[in-house]
Amino acid sequence: MARPEGSIFKLCFLCSLIANLFFGVNLYLGRRGVGVEVEQRRGERPRPELERRAAAEAESAAARECSGHGRAFLDGAVADGRPACECNTCYGGPDCSLFLPSCSANADGGDPLFLEPFWKQHAESSAVVVAGWHRMSYSFSDQTTLSQELESLLRKLHSQVGNAITDDKYILFGAGSTQLLNAAVHALSHLNSSFPASAVASIPYYALYQMQTEFFDSADCSFQGDPARWKNATNTTGDIIEFVTAPNNPNGQLNEAILHGPNVKTIHDRAYYWPHFTGIPSPADEDLTIFTISKLTGHAGSRFGWAFIRNEEVYQRMNMYLQLNMMGVSRDTQLRAMKLLKVIIEDGGREIFEFGYKTMTKRWDRLRKTLSMSNRFSLQKVPPENCTYFQKVREPTPAYAWVKCEREEDKNCIEILNAAKILGRGGSIFHDDDRYARLSLIRSDDDFDMLISRLESLVSKEDGAKIM
C-alpha cells in the first residue's frame, strides 16, 4: 500500500505551483493595467496612446473647414457629436456658408485675428498637449509663479527684434497688459509723496486708462486727463503718473512723454511696438514698460502680458499687487505662451513679422485707395520710420484707422459710419472730438473685406466723389 505522506506532498506541491502561477499572472497584468498611473505618479512620460487621443480630439476640431468663414474649437458647442462651427461676422449656417448681406461690417474691437492664418500654417509646431496633472501646484519648484524658461524666451525675443532693452531689469507677468497697467498705477502712487497721485494721458488716449483708474476709485490716485494742463504747473502737490502709448491707440503715433521732473512717473505702454505695426527706430529703454502677447502673436484670449521694471521698489509693489490679486498668471497660459514664442524665436521672428507686415500693408493700401476717392473722409498721417529690424525706412501700418469726417455738418462721424452699416468707436471714447472715429484693421479677412465693401458703397454716394 502506498505511503500517504508522498501523496500529500505531491498534492501540496501542485497547489503551491498553481497559486504562484495565478498570483504571478495577476501581478504582471496588474502592473500593465496601472502602468499609466505609476508613470503619472513618478512624473514620467505618458504612454503614446494618450497623446494620440488628445491630438485626435484637437485634429477633429481643426479638420472642420467651416467653408473658410469660421472655425471650430474643442471648448465650443457640439453638434452631431463633433465641435460646431463658430462663424465670422456676416456668415451663418451650420458650416458658415450662408452669407448675410444685410449685416454690419465689424471694425469695432481689437481682436488680432489677422494673424490666425499664420498659426494655421504652423498648427503642428504651435500645438500644446497638456497632461491632466500638469503644474497642479500654486508655484513652480523654485517657489515662484513665473516660468524661468518663459522669461528667458521673452528676453531673447526682445533682443532679436531690438524693440526693448531688458538687461538689469526685473520682469513680471500679468493677465494681459490690462492687469499690469493697474498694478503699475498702484505701485507708482504714493511712491515719493504722501499726497494722492494724478494719472494723465495725451489725447486721444486708450479709454481703459481712465476707465480702470476711475473704476477702482483708489484714494491714492485719480485720473486728471491731458498732461498738457500740467506742463507748466508749479504748485503740484502729489506725483503725476503719465501713460505714454507708442504706437498710440487709436492713431498709431509714436508718442513720447510730455511731462518730466522728479515728481513725474511714466508708464510706457508698448503693446503695438512690433514690426508688423510700426518701424522700430530704437529699442525702448524705460523705467517701466509693458507688453502683451495679444498684439505680438494675436492670442488675445490667452490673457498674458509682461512688464520690465528698473526700480526694485516699484517692482516689489507691483509684485505684491499681482500676488494678492491672482497669485500669478495661470501655468497653462504660461505654457502656451512659451510654445508660441519658441515658434517665433526659431527664425528670429522673421516669418511672423513679415507675414504680419505684408498683411497690414495690403490692408492699408486698400483702405487708402478707397478713401482717396472721398472728399468726406480722411485718414491720420503717421510719418515713415527707420526700422532697425527690417533694415529699411518703412511706412507705418497701424492697427487702427483714425478716420476724420471733414464736412462741417458731419459732427458725429461714428453715427455716419453706423448708418452705413460700419461699426467702430467714436472719438469721444478716446476723449477726442466726435468728428473722429476708430476703425479696427486687425480683425479677420472677412471682417476687413466687408469693411472695404461698406466704405466703397458709402464713398460712391458722395457728391463729387472720384471714380475708381
- For 282-313, what is each residue's pLDDT tens digit? 999 999 999 999 999 999 999 999 999 999 99
| 3-class SS of residue 139 | coil
pLDDT score for 79 = 85
**121 CB contacts (<8 Å, ≥6 apart)?**
none
CB-based contact 199:223 (threshold 8 Å)? yes
CB-based contact 100:88 (threshold 8 Å)? no
pLDDT score for 195 = 83
User: Rg (Cα) of the chain, in Å, rounded?
Assistant: 29
pLDDT score for 80 = 83
pLDDT bucket at 464, cuts 50 / 70 / 90: low
**65 CB contacts (<8 Å, ≥6 apart)?**
95
pLDDT score for 230 = 82
Count of CB atoms situated within 10 Å of the CB of 332: 13
The better pLDDT of the pair 184, 196 is held by: 184
pLDDT surpasses 50 at 33: no
Map grid coordinates 512624473 to a residue. 43
d(CA 326, CA 328): 6
d(CA 449, CA 468): 17
The better pLDDT of the pair 351, 57 is held by: 351
| 3-class SS of residue 330 | coil
pLDDT surpasses 80 at 337: yes
**Could you tell me where the DSSP H helices lie in 189-330?**
207-216, 312-326
pLDDT surpasses 60 at 460: yes
**337 CB contacts (<8 Å, ≥6 apart)?**
150, 293, 299, 302, 304
What's the pTM?
0.87
pLDDT bucket at 465, cuts 50 / 70 / 90: low
Within the chain, what is the greatest distance between any pair of CA atoms?
A: 129
d(CA 209, CA 200): 8
Phi, psi of 363 (to 5 degrees): -70, -45
pLDDT bucket at 52, cuts 50 / 70 / 90: confident
Beta strands in 297-451 (DSSP E): 305-309, 377-378, 385-387, 392-394, 400-405, 422-423, 425-426, 436-440
Element (H, E) at 196: none
pLDDT bucket at 28, cuts 50 / 70 / 90: very low
d(CA 379, CA 413): 13
Phi, psi of 254 (to 5 degrees): -85, 85
CB-based contact 266:257 (threshold 8 Å)? yes
pLDDT bucket at 8, cuts 50 / 70 / 90: very low
Q: List, for residues 64-108, the tens digit of each pLDDT value.
A: 889 999 999 988 899 888 899 999 999 999 999 999 999 999 999
| 3-class SS of residue 358 | helix
pLDDT surpasses 70 at 26: no
Q: What are the DSSP calls for 415-433, one per residue?
A: HHHHHTTEE-EEGGGGTS-
The better pLDDT of the pair 52, 352 is held by: 352
> Which of 206-210, 236-240, 383-387, 432-436 is predicted least confidently?
236-240
For 56, how many CA atoms within 13 A lie in the half-sphere containing its CB?
A: 6
| 3-class SS of residue 360 | helix
pLDDT bucket at 192, cuts 50 / 70 / 90: low
**Taking all residues of the chain, what is their mean pLDDT, rounded to a whole number?**
88
